[in-house]
Amino acid sequence: MDQLNGLLFYSWEELPFVFLALVVGFTVHEFAHAYTAYKFGDPTPKNMGRVTLNPRYHLSLFGTIMIFLIGFGWPKGVLIDRRNFKNPRLMDIIVTAAGPVSNLIIAFIGLLLVFLFQAFDLKDSISGGSAQAILLFLGLLIQLNMMLFIFNLIPLPPLDGYGIVKNFLPLRTQLKISQYEQWGIYVFLLIVFLPPLKKVTIYPLYSLSNSILKGMNDLLAVFFGFSILPSY
C-alpha cells in the first residue's frame, strides 16, 4: 500500500473522495458547455448525447487517471458548432466560460455546505468517522473545483481561457494563431512539469485560487457570523 501511495498524487484513503469530487466537477463543467450551447441554438451537443448530467458521457478514462497520478486531468470535450449561434462571437464566449464558472459555483456550494455543517453542529449528531468523511469530501470538492476553474482560464489551447481570449481578437489574428494551436498542450505540460516555469505561472494561480476562496469565505462569514477558512 505504501508503494502504491508513492505512485499516486493523492493518498490511498483520499482516492474515493477525489473520484466523487471529480465526477461532480467534470460532469457539471461539460454539461454547462453543452446545455448553454444547446440553448443558444446549437443542436450538436444534444445530438451527441452531451446535454446530460450522466457522468459516463463526460468522463475521460485516461484524463481521470491522470488526476490520480499527477494531480491534473481532463474530461471529454464538448463539440460545439458556433455557426449555429445568432451571435457567434458573444455566444461562444458565454458557452466557453460556462464550464469554468460552473466549477466556481460548485466550489462555493461546497464551502456553503461546510458552513452549514458547522452552523448546525452536525459533528455532534453523526459518528466521528462519518463527519470526517463528509468534511474530507467537501474539502476536496472545493479544492478540485477551484483548480478546474483557475486552470481552465489559462489562455492556452485546448483550455477554455484560450477560447475566451481568442474571441476578443480580430479575425485575421485568430486565423494566424490557429496555426499553432496544436502546440498549446505541449506548452501547458512544460509549464506544469518544469519547476522554473511552474514557479512563475502555476504558483501565482494557486495564490489567486486562495484569494478567491478567501473572498467567498468572508462573504459567507458575514451571514453565519464565523469563518471556516483556517480549516483549508
Q: pLDDT value at position 3?
A: 45
* 3-class DSSP state of 157: coil
Q: Specify the length of the chain in residues.
A: 232
Decide if pLDDT at 6 tops 70: no
- Residues 52-108 have pLDDT tens digits of 999 999 999 888 888 877 777 789 999 999 999 999 999 999 999 999 999 999 999
How far is the C-alpha of 103 from the C-alpha of 213, rounded, in Å? 12
Q: Quick: pLDDT tens for 194-205.
A: 888 878 887 888
Identify the active-site residue in 13, 14, 30, 181.
30
How far is 88 from 95, CA to CA, in rounded Å?
10
For the question of residue 30 being annotated catalytic, the response is yes
pLDDT band at 230; cut points 50, 70, 90: low
Q: Kindly state the cell numbers that stand for 125.
A: 449528531
Note the pLDDT tens digit of each residue in 17-46: 999 999 999 999 999 999 999 999 999 999
Contacts of 144 (CB under 8 A, 6+ apart): 18, 21, 22, 25, 67
- pLDDT at 193 (0 to 100): 78
Split at pLDDT 50, 70, 90, the class of 7 is: low
C-alpha atoms less than 13 angstroms from C-alpha of 189 in its C-beta half-sphere: 8
- pLDDT tens track for 112-160: 999 999 998 877 778 778 888 999 999 999 999 999 999 899 998 989 9
Specify whether the backbone of 8 is left (phi greater than 0), alpha (psi in -120 to 50) or beta.
beta
Helix (H, G, I), strand (E, B) or coil at 95: helix
Phi, psi for residue 76 in degrees, rounded to 5? -75, 130
